Amino acid sequence: MGGIALTKILLVDDEVLITDSLSYSLQREGFEVRSVIDGAQALKSISEFEPDLIVLDLILPDMSGFEVCRRLRATTTTPVIMLTARSEEIDRILGLEVGADDYLAKPFSFRELLARIRATLRRVELDRQLSQNQPVDLRTLRLDPVARRVYKTDQELLLSAREFDLLNVLMKNAGRALSREELLAQVWGEEWIGDPRTLDVHVRWLRLKIEDDPASPQYLQTVRGYGYRFAGPEELS
C-alpha cells in the first residue's frame, strides 16, 4: 500500500540559508520540498519534480524571476508565489502580469508565507472542483456531471450510477490511458476488494450504450496489458 502523496513545493532562490530554513519548516508542515538556486534548474525541475506550487525569488543568478515565470506559463499552470527584496508596486504588478498567483516582499515571516501557500492551494483546488463540474463534450457525447446525465446526439442515455462514474472519469481524462488499478480506485474506491473483472463488465455495458459499433469501439478503447482510455478530442474531430 502506498502512502498519501504529499503536496510538493519547489523553492527557487539562490540564498541557501533561506531555502534551507524554508525547506525544513515546510517539511515539518507536511510538504515535500525541493530547492534550486537558479531559473534554469527551476525550469528543468518542473517536469522532473512536478511541483504543486512554486515559491520563486525575483532576483536569480541567470535570469529574473519574471522571465522564469513567463517561461513557466508557456507550459504549466502550476501556481507561483513570487518573492522579492523590493517592495515597489511596479514589481508586484509586473509579477502578476507575467503569471504569478501571489506576491510576497522580503523580509517575511514563515507563518505569512505558509498562509499564502495554503490560501493559494485552496484556491487552486476550488478552481479544479469547479472545472470538474463543467459539462464534457466529445464528438456526439455530452456528459453533465452536475445533473449526472449523458447524451448522445441529444438523446439521453440511461446509465447506472457506476457506469456514469466510470464514463465521467474516462471522459475527464480523454486521450490519457488509465490503468485498471486507477480506474478501480477512482470509481469503486481505494478499499474495494471485489472481483477486478467487474471493470471489464462495466466497460462492455458502456460500449453497448455509447458506441455505434461496440465490437469496434471508437470512444472507449482498450490499452492491452494496462487498462482503458477514452479517445482524445483530436481523434474524434
Max CA-CA distance within the chain?
65
Q: Mention every residue, 6+ apart, whose C-beta is less than 8 A from residue 95.
A: 58, 65, 66, 69, 82, 84, 103
Q: What is the 3-state secondary structure (H, E, C) of 16-51?
A: HHHHHHHHHHHHHCCCEEEEECCHHHHHHHHHHHCC
pLDDT of residue 14: 93
Q: Which residue has the higher pLDDT, 128 or 66?
A: 66
pLDDT of residue 157: 94
Distance CA 226, CA 177 (A): 8
Residue 39 CA to chain centroid, in angstroms?
22
The highest-level CATH class for domain 136-236 is: mainly alpha
Q: Lowest mean pLDDT: which of 58-72, 79-93, 112-126, 220-234?
A: 79-93
Q: In which order are the strands placed within the sheet that holds 155-157? A: 136-138, 141-144, 149-152, 155-157
Tell me which DSSP letter residue 169 carries: H
Q: Which residue has the higher pLDDT, 136 or 203?
A: 203
The residue type found at 30 is G
Confidence at 1, pLDDT banded by 50, 70, 90: very low
**Which residue, 91, 79, 95, 24, is CA-closest to 46?**
79
Q: Looking at the predicted structure, is the pLDDT value of residue 32 above 90?
A: yes
- Identify whether the C-beta of residue 22 lies closer than 8 Å to the C-beta of residue 55: yes
pLDDT tens sequence across 132-166: 788 888 889 999 988 899 999 989 999 988 899 99
Which CATH number is 8-132's, of 1.10.1740.10, 3.40.50.2300, 3.40.47.10, 1.10.3720.10?
Answer: 3.40.50.2300
The residue extents of the domains of the chain are: 8-132, 136-236
- In whole angstroms, how far apart are CA 37 and each of 17, 23, 25, 30, 84? 11, 13, 18, 22, 15
